[in-house]
Amino acid sequence: MLWMELPDGIRRITCPLPTRPGHVHAYLLPGEEGWTLVDTGIGLPDASERWSAELEGIEVVRILVTHFHPDHIGAAADVAAVTGAPVYEGELDYAQARMVWGNPEWPQRIADWFLTHGVPRPIAEELIESGSVYAPFIRYQPDPALVSHGEHLDGWELVDAPGHADGQLCLLKDGVLISADHLLGRISPTVGLWPESRPDPLGDYIRSLERTIELAPRLALPGHGEPIVDPVGRAHALIEHHRERLGVAEASLTATPRTGYDLSFELFGADLKAASRRFAVAETLSHLERLVREERAVRHEDDGAVAYTARQLGRRASA
């Protein structure tokens, strides 16, 4: 793990990841009562030993999990045991953590969902296998203190940021935004549609970015990459990025129904490993569902299969 001192007494701890992007940041926030640790990294086999060494001499009085993805929640129970500190998590996020990481039926549920969206069965099984590799590294806290948007933890306001994850929470204080995976500097956070998720994650994400613009933080500290010195500008850029991607998705539609799996090859290319294809299908679907809500596409459901066509069939047919 690597340490960095940041403005306002904040400390950044960079934890290793065995997969891309190779790292995830946790943050120590100073307070009158002690330190608040934001996120815990993935639960690698030596997570307890690593965190015990890193936090020696530091009084952590609370742990906040921003969202349930493996690299943010994975070692939560380990760090809670090391520090004796309570874990705080959003109510919706905890419900989804239990559904995904504590539910033995989840792999079959997501496999069926991939099949519904056009993924051939052998490839669906490969996609599920690629996702299941994380399961041994998830040790979420089973009894967190549940928190919600607008509450405060030691002076930091909790801010809803759905999109990348339905229940993701950021923290805001004195113009500093702990942005988790809501706002990243060099890459666009994955915004995908998954089974049992909110129905319009891309719409959620764009609204979350618009809220960030309204809040106008002066600095954002993300879950990956370097501090963002112009969070408002970055939020504008991400909104424009997704507007452009919506245009690409719309241009790929015709009068012939096409599945999310099929369209993912046009939006993300053919040369993807299974793990990346999982996210490509989910992100393609989030864009298609946004197009449906903007009346730029039509969803068709037939015999357990979902496909999409262009809304303006005449123009598409003549293009």
Residue 296 has pLDDT above 90, yes or no: yes
Read off the pLDDT of residues 227-260 as tens digits, 9 standing for 90 and up. 999 999 999 999 999 999 999 999 999 999 999 9
Exposed (0-12), middle (13-18) or buried (19+): which is 265, by Cβ within 10 Å?
Answer: middle
HSE at residue 230, side-chain half, CA atoms within 13 A, is: 6
| Backbone torsion region of residue 156, taken as left when φ is above 0, otherwise alpha when ψ lies between -120 and 50, otherwise beta | beta
The pLDDT of 4-33, averaged and rounded, is 93
pLDDT value for 317: 35
Question: In this structure, what token pair is assigned to residue 67?
Answer: 């969202």
Per the DSSP assignment, residues forming a β-bridge with 65 are 89
Read off the pLDDT of residues 265-295 as tens digits, 9 standing for 90 and up. 999 999 998 888 999 999 999 999 999 999 9
The pLDDT of 88-114, averaged and rounded, is 94
pLDDT value for 208: 98
SS (H, E, C) 198-242: CCCHHHHHHHHHHHHHHHCCCEEEECCCCCECCHHHHHHHHHHHH
Residue 315 has pLDDT above 70, yes or no: no
Grouping H, G, I as helix, E, B as strand and the rest as coil, residue 47 is helix
Question: Taking the chain, what is the end-to-end CA distance rounded to the nearest angstrom?
Answer: 54
Residue 28 has φ and ψ, to the nearest 5°, of: -105, 120
pLDDT value for 125: 86
Angstrom distance (rounded) from CA 263 to CA 256: 12
The pLDDT of 55-77, averaged and rounded, is 97
Counting residues of the chain whose pLDDT is more than 70, the rounded percentage is: 97
pLDDT value for 249: 97
Residue 316 has pLDDT above 70, yes or no: no
pLDDT value for 158: 98
| Backbone torsion region of residue 302, taken as left when φ is above 0, otherwise alpha when ψ lies between -120 and 50, otherwise beta | beta
pLDDT value for 10: 98
Domain covering 2-251 in this structure, CATH number = 3.60.15.10
Residue 112 has pLDDT above 80, yes or no: yes
Which residues lie closer than 8 Å to 194 by C-beta, 6 or more apart?
110, 113, 282
Which residues lie closer than 8 Å to 24 by C-beta, 6 or more apart?
14, 15, 17, 39, 41, 42, 71, 72, 223, 224
Q: For the chain, what is the mean pLDDT?
A: 94
pLDDT value for 128: 80
Which residues lie closer than 8 Å to 269 by C-beta, 6 or more apart?
none
The pLDDT of 179-188, averaged and rounded, is 96
| DSSP state letters, 90-159 | EHHHHHHHHHHHS-TTHHHHHHHHHHHTT--HHHHHHHHHHHHTTGGG----SSPEEE-TT-EETTEEEE
Read off the pLDDT of residues 201-230 as tens digits, 9 standing for 90 and up. 999 999 999 999 999 999 999 999 999 999
The pLDDT of 94-115, averaged and rounded, is 93
Residue 44 has φ and ψ, to the nearest 5°, of: -60, 160
Residue 21 has pLDDT above 90, yes or no: no
